[in-house]
């Protein structure tokens, strides 16, 4: 394809979007190793998830393969073609934080790793006795920094792909999947929700530990990487909040989100990613945490969400990943048209993406259908 023409259109679309004079809805994609490992053209080595998570060289090699594949074959409103330099990083696959806190991580051959609850009723206080783990050594901290060190070493030795060097490299752990989600991974969602009412002292002690550990870890990682420890705005996630009512969120979770925001996003505007149907909480989160960007999962009623949040809040979302994977193309085209006509485009603050994270074995031709539908139905 003509990458130069594509990139010129992308620049024009995003500039107009940010100037609040949009030409059309931009489209982005969530592209993780869950998708790229399943695609032979992105994984010619045939790495399994076990290889990817346990072999540092396999992670490095696949990170480069995924970056090349994304920039050459995956249509979205992002720069395509060869970059000046490649950006890669350690991939914690949404289990790093739980593993770092002492959780049990199960690594499989053909599935993403999973965090299995490790805090049963008879040992749930053990994590409080241990306190905040070391940021750089032991367990998953060692896993993280060993991989980061290898990537840095390979870059320093001049490793290239298609004549381009490796430049930007990041460890995992500079952000967070959210204190409530991490606590659920450690304790199990049903047990943690029961703790709210049956053992509130323990619940608040665990949430306080996870939140403080998160804040201190991010600061330590920023410090060692030469980044400012403080920031004006924060992007974070906390998918498990979908389990609770507004009243429960306000009493039991909001105080810990507020601590995160006070540490890293006191000025705002902040952004949050929430899979599942957490839309009943969006207005509260918007008002209380200076969040003006919501990256949604599904199910989401885009028209209702826009009416509730108003025209100035950014909403990201789109077709379900199963539809995007299975098709048929006509149904993908029709779903994009339906979303565009829902009212979500009012105010020019909507970004189309899959809901949420491209599924394994999603055909590239279905991505092309979605992109062309965005260009067709998303014009203002």
The answer to pTM > 0.85 is yes
- pLDDT in the model for residue 299: 80
- pLDDT in the model for residue 29: 98
85-229, which class in CATH?
Answer: alpha beta
- pLDDT in the model for residue 297: 87
pLDDT tens for 173-188 read 999 999 999 999 999 9
pLDDT tens for 182-240 read 999 999 999 999 999 999 999 999 999 999 999 999 999 999 999 999 999 999 999 99
pLDDT under 50: residue ranges of the chain: none
- pLDDT in the model for residue 298: 82
Map the chain to HEC letters. Answer: CCHHHHHHHHHHHHHHHHCCCCCECCECCCCCHHHHCCCCCCCCCCCCHHHHHHCHHHHHHHHHHHHHHHHHHCCCCCCCCCCCCEEEECCCCCCHHHHHCCCEEECCCCCCCEEECCCCCCCCCHHHHHCCCCCCCCHHHHHHHHHHHHHHHHHHCCCEECCEEEEEEECCCCCCCCHHHHHHHHHCHHHHHHHHHHCHHHHHHHHHHHHHHHHHHHHHHHHHCCCCCCCCCCEEECHHHHHCCHHHHHHHHHHHHHHHHHHHCCCCCEEEEECCCCHHHHHHHHHHHCEEEEEECCCCCHHHHHHHHCCCCEEEECCEHHHHHHCCHHHHHHHHHHHHCCCCCCCCCEEECCECCCCCCCCHHHHHHHHHHHHHHCEC
Compute the mean pLDDT over every residue in the chain, rounded to the nearest whole number.
97
pLDDT tens for 110-155 read 899 999 999 999 999 999 999 999 999 999 999 999 999 999 999 9
Contact 152, 167 (CB under 8 A): no
């Amino acid at each position: 394809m003509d990458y130069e023409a594509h990139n010129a259109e992308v620049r024009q679309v995003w500039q107009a979007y940010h100037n609040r004079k949009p030409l059309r809805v931009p489209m982005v994609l969530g592209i993780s190793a869950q998708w790229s490992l399943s695609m032979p053209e992105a994984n010619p080595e045939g790495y399994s998830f076990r290889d990817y998570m346990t072999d540092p060289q396999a992670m490095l090699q696949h990170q480069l393969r995924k970056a090349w594949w994304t920039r050459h074959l995956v249509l979205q409103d992002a720069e395509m073609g060869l970059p000046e330099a490649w950006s890669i990083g350690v991939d914690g696959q949404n289990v790093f934080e739980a593993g770092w806190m002492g959780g049990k991580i199960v690594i499989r051959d053909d599935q993403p790793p999973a965090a299995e609850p490790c805090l049963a009723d008879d040992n749930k206080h053990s994590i409080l006795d241990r306190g905040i783990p070391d940021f750089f050594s032991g367990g998953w901290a060692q896993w993280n920094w060993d991989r980061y060190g290898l990537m840095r070493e390979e870059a320093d030795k001049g490793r290239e792909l298609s004549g381009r060097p490796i430049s930007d490299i990041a460890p995992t752990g500079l952000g967070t999947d959210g204190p409530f989600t991490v606590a659920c991974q450690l304790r199990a969602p049903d047990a943690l929700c029961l703790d709210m009412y049956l053992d509130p002292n323990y619940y608040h002690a665990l949430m306080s530990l996870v939140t403080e550990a998160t804040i201190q870890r991010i600061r330590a990682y920023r410090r060692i990487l030469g980044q400012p420890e403080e920031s004006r705005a924060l992007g974070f996630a906390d998918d498990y909040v979908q389990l609770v009512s507004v009243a429960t969120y306000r009493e039991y979770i909001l105080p810990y989100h507020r601590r995160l925001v006070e540490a890293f996003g006191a000025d705002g505007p902040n952004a949050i990613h929430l899979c599942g149907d957490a839309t009943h909480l969006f207005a509260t989160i918007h008002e209380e945490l200076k969040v003006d960007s919501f990256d949604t999962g599904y199910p989401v009623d885009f028209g209702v969400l826009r009416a509730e949040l108003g025209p100035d809040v950014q909403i990201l979302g789109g077709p379900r990943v199963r539809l995007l994977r299975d098709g048929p193309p006509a149904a993908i085209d029709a779903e994009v048209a339906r979303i565009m006509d829902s009212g979500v485009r009012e105010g020019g603050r909507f970004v189309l993406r899959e809901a949420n994270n491209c599924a394994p074995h999603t055909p590239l031709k279905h991505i092309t259908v979605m992109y062309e539908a965005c260009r067709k139905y998303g014009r203002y």
